[in-house]
């Protein structure tokens, strides 16, 4: 039997993430399976693994119900954090998500949606999980992924193909009008046409006088 990891190597529980409780349970389950850890050792360490207000919750439940098995504690954690309000929040987050090749990273976004669906529907098949996520990619991008990934395909294969499409093509991207404005033409000030002096007809007909003798 392998020696159990030291306490500092165990995951802690804060209850702050979307599905922090699911990750915590899965991690403890894997440690128990990989190291053949006795149930008593897990429950004895729980008080050190809960943090912040979750630790106070643990102490309250422990005082009320006494010592119990790890499977019992798992159910208590699920009852507390996987409630209707939590499901509503996660369902809304998934429904409102749509993959944008210009903004979203394929690896981060795809895995996040997988985790959301697995947390909500633990019995859902991997194929159905993939199909639901593909519909969040838009028609053209969804069709391209389906043509590349023939079921059964792993989550990693879908992510790799999505990264390849986003990196090498413009499939699924929306056309955007260029923000570049055409350069303004320089303003040329036109000179006003010069006014030609018209001869004064009255002056031509006027008789000139001699200034000395005042004779005409």
User: Cα(116)–Cα(86) distance, rounded to whole angstroms?
Assistant: 11
pTM above 0.75, yes or no: no
Q: Which of 14-18, 35-39, 62-66, 161-165 has the lowest mean pLDDT?
A: 14-18
Compute the distance between CA of residue 63 and CA of residue 154 in angstroms, rounded to an integer: 45
CB neighbours of residue 137 within 10 Å: 26
Distances (CA, A) of 91 to 32, 41, 196: 31, 35, 84
* CA distance linking residue 69 with residue 58, whole number of Å: 14
Least confident of 16-30, 138-152, 174-188: 174-188
- Got the DSSP string for 78-99? HHHHSSHHHHHHHHHHHHT---
Instruction: Tokens 């879908």: give the residue.
Output: 158
Contacts of 1 (CB under 8 A, 6+ apart): 35, 36
Q: In which region does residue 173 sit, left (phi positive, over 0), alpha (psi from -120 to 50) or beta (all else)?
A: beta
What does the mean pLDDT of the chain come to? 87
pLDDT (tens digit per residue) in 39-96: 999 999 999 999 999 999 999 999 999 999 999 999 999 999 999 999 999 999 999 9
Cβ atoms of residues 69 and 39 within 8 Å: yes
- Does the pLDDT of residue 184 top 80, yes or no? no
């Amino acid at each position: 039997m392998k020696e159990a990891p030291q306490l500092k190597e165990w995951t802690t529980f804060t209850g702050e993430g979307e599905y922090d409780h699911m990750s915590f349970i899965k991690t403890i389950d894997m440690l128990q399976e990989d190291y053949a850890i006795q149930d008593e050792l897990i429950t004895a360490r729980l008080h050190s693994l809960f943090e912040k207000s979750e630790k106070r919750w643990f102490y309250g439940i422990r005082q009320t119900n006494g010592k119990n098995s790890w499977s019992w504690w798992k159910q208590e954690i699920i009852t507390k954090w996987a409630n209707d309000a939590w499901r509503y929040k996660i369902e809304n987050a998934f429904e409102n998500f749509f993959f944008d090749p210009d903004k979203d990273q394929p690896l981060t976004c795809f895995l996040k949606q997988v985790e959301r669906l697995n947390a909500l529907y633990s019995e859902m098949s991997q194929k159905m999980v993939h199909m639901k996520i593909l519909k969040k990619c838009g028609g053209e991008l969804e069709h391209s992924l389906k043509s590349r990934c023939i079921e059964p395909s792993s989550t990693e294969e879908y992510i790799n193909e999505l990264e390849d499409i986003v990196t090498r093509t413009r499939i699924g991207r929306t056309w955007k009008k260029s923000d570049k404005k055409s350069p303004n033409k320089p303003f040329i000030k036109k000179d006003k046409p010069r006014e030609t002096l018209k001869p004064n007809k009255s002056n031509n007909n006027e008789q000139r006088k001699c200034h000395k003798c005042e004779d005409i």
